[in-house]
Chain A
């Protein structure tokens, strides 16, 4: 009985917090908009019995998905989201790897402090941290004040409300997710492996390329997915830091829901987004599994 409960709990969790909402959203995505409350049609009328269910099912169709395919806005938004997420992931990797490497090579007594510093931003609300970037990147922001003050530039740079600001925001926000798994894989590495590589004729750099890098690969893959997956659907950062030219599917979704009040199309956008995310999520899970196997 207890075993059954232990097995059942994750499934119940999945049912309550993923499958049920998913079915609701899927249902809405197959409906039509209506000027009503809730703003879509058909509604399932259980009092009408069997005919009610039949009427409800016959009212569902794939119109909204067909609509997504016809309007270029949507697939452009998807592509642009993928691109922004991919570029941000790459930048986060380039920034995060050296940080993780330095942490793993740091003196043993320093490591907990450094780890703490990486995690520290999580203690402040995400929204506040993104807002504060507006203060930094704006025309009159701290960055421009500093650069002008030092004399590097004479006219303020336009960073806020461009894609550059979105990249900065995403990389900043998700950097710990890149650093932590890479740090974990580097920290586990036996340092005598590097000495062995050098002993066998490697230069420092070759030893890094042939030993450190391959051994930290599971951490790199994990980190990339942990940044890439949430970045695709990111909504707050492009809304606050991005401009009119920033096209991201999260923003489109929000606008469909709250500006257009077109719940069915918004739901269809969400379903397609989910389908797009499933592939990297599965690859990520596979990688995690292999990582755990390698550890044991």
Chain B
């Protein structure tokens, strides 16, 4: 059995993007909401936009949908400039953050709304609408009004309505924001399933980094109207390009110090009188520059005795223990007062907690556990 080809058109220099942003900037008065974005999104991608509140995610979506015009730059869809095309002339559809279902129309009529605007024959509209209702499992709710169904059902109506016209590009602005965690999880998988079956290109906005990691083929982390990094979920998590991205995605320990490069590794002096930390890197750093090491808590081990031959070992004192069921996170204060998080998996139900508050412990990790960052 051969491995299915990995879906990664962004690595193929000949691949033609479905959407191409070229230097897109959007200003509201003097405020720059989107700041010179260059970005390619490919056919059949599930592209996630991630970032703190106010960083411009919704604005970027609204530019794509045609509700806002970029102040500078252009957007190409299939190589054609979208400038001046109104929302009703674009082959994009949007699922709104608030769902924006028409309260005076039934579930069926909501989903059929876009199809009817295309003047399709009634039979075709009915068939396509029913197909969509089956896709999102809403067959039993045909005649209900939006206020007569649950939040999760409303969200699926909104999805079906946006999908019904088979858009080239589907924009989802925090589609799952209103759902509880369990329903959210289920819906994420449903979304991925639908995306795979329809082959539609999805761009999803989310606040929830876990959601982005779960559903997306690629994730873009935004910061003040700029894109800090675009990569696949593993790349974003394991190889962030800045402390901003590392800090935004998941939990991370960041240690700052002066770099001394060696062959393939770098040593970071992070505190007076402490041995330097060693970390593998491909970066070529000048001697003496400030650099950071970012290490995920699950890659930090904890022990009561000094580890024998670990390249990085730091002594500390347990400040706090967070028991999360599947894992425990130890907050350990090290020299200089910095708190480092170390995570252990709870693999045995009755094993007692190994360390307690105020206990002196050692933290250690390998050379390849962390990543060296310049900023």
Q: What residues of chain A have their CB less than 8 Å away from a CB belonging to chain B?
A: 190, 192-193, 195-203, 206, 210-211, 214-215, 294
Contact = CB atoms under 8 A, between A and B. Distances in A.
Interface of B: 65-67, 86-88, 92-94, 96, 98, 100-104, 113-114, 117-118, 161, 165
Contact of A192 (B86, B100, B118): B100
Given A190-B100, A202-B88, A196 B94 contact: yes
B93 A193 contact: no
B165 to A, nearest CB: 7
Given A199-B65, A200-B93, A193 B102 contact: yes
B104 A206 contact: no
Contacts of B117: 200-202, 206
Contacts of A193: 100, 102
A210 B118 CA distance: 14
Contacts of A294: 103
Contacts of A199: 65-66, 87-88, 92-94
Contacts, number: 53
A211 B87 CA distance: 16
Given A193-B102, A201-B118, 9 more contacts: A195-B87, A196-B101, A196-B102, A197-B102, A198-B87, A199-B88, A201-B165, A206-B117, A214-B104
Contacts of A206: 117
B114 A201 contact: yes
A201 B66 CA distance: 12
A203 B100 contact: no
A210 B100 CA distance: 14
For the complex of A and B, list the 7 residue pairs with the smallest distance between their C-beta atoms, beginning with the closest.
A201-B117, A200-B114, A196-B100, A192-B100, A198-B87, A214-B104, A201-B88
Contacts of A198: 67, 86-88
Which residue, B65, B88, B94, has most C-beta atoms of chain A within 10 A?
B88
A215 B93 CA distance: 23
A201 B88 CA distance: 4
Nearest to A200: B114
B323 to A, nearest CB: 43
B94 A197 contact: no
B88 A190 contact: no
B93 A192 contact: no
A192 B158 CA distance: 13
A198 to B, nearest CB: 4
A200 B87 CA distance: 8
26 contacts: A190-B98, A192-B96, A192-B100, A193-B100, A195-B94, A195-B96, A195-B100, A196-B96, A196-B100, A196-B102, A198-B86, A198-B87, A199-B65, A199-B66, A199-B87, A199-B92, A199-B94, A200-B88, A200-B117, A201-B117, A201-B118, A202-B88, A206-B117, A210-B113, A214-B104, A215-B104
B257 to A, nearest CB: 49
A294 B104 CA distance: 10
Contacts of B92: 199
B104 A200 contact: no
Contacts of A196: 94, 96, 100-102
A197 B113 contact: yes
A254 B283 CA distance: 98
